[in-house]
Structure 1
Amino acid sequence: MENQHNFDHSGVPCGILHIGVGNFHRAHQAFFINQLLSDPDQADWGICGVCLLPSDKNTFHNLTAQGLRYTLTVCGRDGQDEVHEVNSIKQLLWAVEQPEAVLDKIADPAIKIITLTITEGGYNLDKSTQSFIWDNDAVEHDLQRPSAPKTVFGFIAEGLRRRRANQAGGITILSCDNLQHNGEAAKQAFTTFIAEQDENLSTWVSDNVTFPNSMVDRITPTTTAQDVERLNKKSGVADKAPVYCEDFIQWVVEDNFIAGRPALERVGVEFTDNVEPFENMKLSLLNASHTLLSYPSMLKGYRKVDEAMQDDDVRAFIKKFMDEDITPHVPAPQGTDLEEYKQTLLERFGNKSVSDQVSRLCGDGLSKFPVYIVPNLKKMIAAGQDLTRVAILIAAYRHYLACLKDDSGSTYEINEPWLTQQDLDLIQNEDPLAFLAIPPFKHLNLTDNSEFSTLYTNYVDRIKREGMRNVLANQSTSY
């Protein structure tokens, strides 16, 4: 294990405010900034982190207790680890206890960029229509009480209102979440909310706020209590909030910053006029393949991704999906070898040192399917392609949600924060076609597609009767 010693960043001011200080942010954006801050002319780009949710309490207190520094263990595919001390987060606020401090920080002229990792579902956009969802108690509260916000939309709106009053100048809001056209999604969500709340502010935002698209990539598992002990033993540091991740990292950003930006190209970030080819490649191959392996792997009894990737049937299932189902719809970005990219993905998924949790990949499927699977499924249907693997995936997703037991009878917990009672009724309906009316699929009219509905209902029955292991084994032998 190699320890990476970094420059002392004490006294660095904050030029970036980041909402959503989870493991991914700390392994990705904060890591890039940490590398950059050692350049004297980039010393104004420290991060002010904002923990927005009550569930962020432990993160806030653990990081605060150790001066906001933490260790990041980068796990190589060759088995070699590097440990970095990251101290690019120079201030940390918890909105639950410090709402006024958060609002004033957004209005601070020194802050030039607001970055976001609030998850795919955090933008409060309808999964099918991409329209803003108004039927939300917290959103309604923020419309009625702008000065005492609860949601990210309310905090941003009130902070920008104060920024306008302070004459603090323009600002960039940069989404770092796994959404297609994530800058456009952020713009849709925030400008729609602001227009409803404050028409005058809406006009100011249109002239003073930019929303670049970006693509981010680095596998960063949840850190368990066992991981904390393991990582600290390796690093020799008593860290209450360590993070670990794979050795691959990528960040591609549309160069559209109204108030300036850090020179992140110096540390490997790629700036471009068009993020879409990179975004399409990553969402269609990495994220879609993660979703494809997640539910079948969970049902087969796997709980770690690297263990599932040692299963020849799972690996063949994913490779066939990448090569035959998705590659026809993924033009390679300039300078990218698509075959090499796919091979690297298989290696990354199988990285034993990262050992990502299958349960993490299964979480919030309602938000992931519309982003990772549905866009290419539409293209596959239009092109008359074989729908077998997607049919297996959706049948596995139904079984995962409905049965809560894997092939061996072991139970698992699901994490689906957006499920409604109506969704639950459709999941438990004895007619498997009813499941196709849940939000990710209802606008696809899959029940009218005889090829898909036949495949899907067949696999629903086979998974129930034979188990996921036999279904994938039979697929593997046909490859």
Structure 2
Amino acid sequence: MSMIYYHYEGLEIRTGILHIGVGNFHRAHQQFYTNLVLNDDDQKDWGICGVCLLPSDERMVTGLRAQNLNYSLTVCGRSGEDEVYKIGSLRELIWGVEDPSAVIEKIADCSVRIISLTITEGGYNLDKETGEFILDHEKIQHDLKRPEVPATVFGFVAEGLRRRKIQNGAGVTILSCDNLQHNGNTAKKAFMTFIEAQDQELAAWAAEYVTFPNSMVDRITPATTPEDVERLNKRNGTNDLVPVYCEDFSQWVIEDQFIAGRPAWERVGVEFTRDVTAFENMKLSLLNASHTLLSYPAFLMGYRKVDQAMKDENLVKFIRIFMDVDSAPFVPAPENTDLEKYKETLIERFANPSVSDQVSRLCFDGISKFPVYIIPNLDKMIKEGKDLTRPAFLIASYRHYLKYKKDDRGDIFEIGEPWLTEKDKQLISSEDSLAFLELSAFKGVRLKDSQEFIQQYRRFVKDIKEVGVDSVLKSIIQ
């Protein structure tokens, strides 16, 4: 284990980035790269001001403030060798629950040239069926009518941009760092739809002075449990209230469309490109889709850690077949990328015992993940007459997970699905397994029109209930 420190206390680091959503992934990814680049003398204008908007952020805010906003990041090597970084790139931290006006003023500040986001896949408030921004949401309606006291990220950003337009007119880039295909386009649709509904003059200004580059982000970063905090501090000789740990692999590909400048992130491993589409498709179709494929069967089999699940030869074979047969035909390799090597590396990453990611984290918010990671390629598979065994088994497993909340061992668990609608809940509770195929997550494909899918899905629903996921999985891969 090696300790790597960057001593930024007392140095003239100025804030140039405002980030909304100071969670573990942001602290292991964007903060990591920025922390490295701040070491260069000509990059001192790119410190980060973190913004937390939720009441549940209190523990994070309190912990970071207690240690002068510094924290430790343990990068867990696949070889068993770890590196521990002291991250000092977080220069300011504002909690919107405590001081909403400070958030608005910071967005308006012309020294902020990038507003970045990790607000989760579901946080962009888009209808899963139509893809349109949901204007009639209660909190959105509040922000449209009372812009001076916002309740949503859209309201905060709009009010900050409005003041920015009046006070200095400085352009700004809004950079999504969420796991979404074309996340910049998604952010643009969400924010611009809101702004257009609230203030036409601001919308005209934003169309000229705000850019939304797409980006692809990749680094497995588990949630940090109290046991992890104790383990990391003991192992690293630290006393960190809010440590974070992650894998040694990291990738960030960004379209170079920054209207007001950007850090020289390319010096520390970030790749800039004209079009991020091929990188996005590779990651979402292979890494994220495979994570989703693994999650529900593994959890129902009783596995709670990803590396433990990856010791199960049947699960590993299942994932590899999915990558090779179901996903790879729809994944053109980006330039200078060896797709076979990429798939091999994914298996190594999933099995990394030093990271030991939680299977429950992979299961979380499936209703938002399926439309992004699974449904686009599944639609192509159906249209091209491909074998639907693995996606049918996955969706049958997902139904069992949501409906019965009990694994093969009989252990009862709670599900984490914050974006389920009332209609979704009714479809899950139905005894007719075909009703489940009308879930909002599957609106991008007409599953009930595929007789092959229905036949396999219904068989898997029945078999999983009768003999358990483990036995059904074995029958699939033989």
Report the TM-score range of the alignment, normalised by the length of the smaller protein. Answer: over 0.9
Cross-structure match for 2:184: 183
Alignment of 1:79 with 2:80, yes or no, is: yes
Cross-structure match for 1:268: 269
Q: Deviations over 1:329-352 (max 9, x none)?
A: 000000000000000000000000
Cross-structure match for 2:463: 462
Q: Tell me how far 1:168 sits from its aligned partner.
A: 4.0
Q: Tell me how far 1:443 sits from its aligned partner.
A: 4.4
1 CA distance for matches of 2:71 and 2:141? 37
Cross-structure match for 1:244: 245
Cross-structure match for 2:357: 356
Q: Secondary structure of 2:356's match?
A: coil
Alignment of 1:313 with 2:314, yes or no, is: yes
Aligned ranges for residues 257-406 of structure 1 at < 5 Å? 257-406=258-407
1 CA distance for matches of 2:207 and 2:370? 31
1 CA distance for matches of 2:316 and 2:358? 17
1 CA distance for matches of 2:312 and 2:33? 34
Q: Secondary structure of 2:189's match?
A: helix
Cross-structure match for 1:136: 137
Q: Tell me how far 1:475 sits from its aligned partner.
A: 1.5
Alignment of 1:149 with 2:150, yes or no, is: yes
Q: Tell me how far 1:382 sits from its aligned partner.
A: 1.6
Percent identical: 62
Q: Which moved more, 1:328-337 or 1:162-171?
A: 162-171
Residue type of the partner of 1:117?
T
Residue type of the partner of 1:63?
L
Alignment of 1:4 with 2:33, yes or no, is: no
Q: C-alpha root-mean-square deviation of aligned residues, in Å? A: 0.8
1 CA distance for matches of 2:231 and 2:310? 23
Q: Tell me how far 1:428 sits from its aligned partner.
A: 1.2
Cross-structure match for 1:224: 225
1 CA distance for matches of 2:444 and 2:62? 43
Native 8 Å contact 2:376 2:444 kept in 1: no
Native 8 Å contact 1:108 1:168 kept in 2: no
Residue type of the partner of 1:215?
M
2 CA distance for matches of 1:422 and 1:475? 32
Residue type of the partner of 2:260?
A
Cross-structure match for 1:28: 29
Unaligned 5+ runs, structure 1? none
Q: Secondary structure of 1:34's match?
A: helix
Q: Deviations over 1:109-128 (max 9, x none)?
A: 10000000000000001123
Compared CA separation, residues 443 and 23, structure 1 to 2 (3 A): closer
2 CA distance for matches of 1:44 and 1:443? 43
Cross-structure match for 2:477: 476
Residue type of the partner of 1:211?
F
2 CA distance for matches of 1:134 and 1:439? 18
Q: Tell me how far 1:319 sits from its aligned partner.
A: 0.3
2 CA distance for matches of 1:283 and 1:128? 20
Q: Which moved more, 1:421-430 or 1:277-286?
A: 421-430
Alignment of 1:449 with 2:450, yes or no, is: yes
Q: Secondary structure of 1:3's match?
A: strand
Native 8 Å contact 1:364 1:415 kept in 2: yes
2 CA distance for matches of 1:83 and 1:135? 46
Moved segments of 4+, more than 6 Å: none
2 CA distance for matches of 1:420 and 1:105? 34
Native 8 Å contact 1:25 1:117 kept in 2: yes
Q: Tell me how far 1:458 sits from its aligned partner.
A: 0.6
Q: Tell me how far 1:287 sits from its aligned partner.
A: 0.2
Native 8 Å contact 2:15 2:46 kept in 1: yes
1 CA distance for matches of 2:33 and 2:277? 22
Q: Deviations over 1:430-478 (max 9, x none)?
A: 110000011011342211210001110110001001100001111222x
Q: Deviations over 1:56-88 (max 9, x none)?
A: 011011001100000000000011111000010
Native 8 Å contact 1:74 1:247 kept in 2: yes
Native 8 Å contact 2:43 2:264 kept in 1: yes
Residue type of the partner of 2:75?
V
The total of aligned residue pairs comes to 477
Q: Secondary structure of 2:147's match?
A: coil
Cross-structure match for 1:422: 423
Cross-structure match for 1:117: 118
Residue type of the partner of 2:96?
A
Q: Tell me how far 1:371 sits from its aligned partner.
A: 0.4
2 CA distance for matches of 1:130 and 1:216? 22
Q: Which moved more, 1:34-43 or 1:445-454?
A: 445-454
Cross-structure match for 1:158: 159
Alignment of 1:103 with 2:104, yes or no, is: yes
Q: Secondary structure of 2:272's match?
A: strand
Q: Secondary structure of 1:73's match?
A: strand
Q: Deviations over 1:10-68 (max 9, x none)?
A: 43110000000000000000000000001000000000000011110110110011000
2 CA distance for matches of 1:246 and 1:345? 11
Native 8 Å contact 2:375 2:444 kept in 1: no
Native 8 Å contact 1:19 1:117 kept in 2: yes
Native 8 Å contact 1:182 1:214 kept in 2: yes
Q: Deviations over 1:213-252 (max 9, x none)?
A: 0000000000000000000011111100000000000000
2 CA distance for matches of 1:247 and 1:443? 34
Native 8 Å contact 1:107 1:168 kept in 2: no
Q: Tell me how far 1:137 sits from its aligned partner.
A: 1.2
Q: Secondary structure of 2:92's match?
A: strand
* TM-score calculated relative to the size of structure 2: 0.99
Residue type of the partner of 1:5?
Y
Native 8 Å contact 1:254 1:275 kept in 2: yes
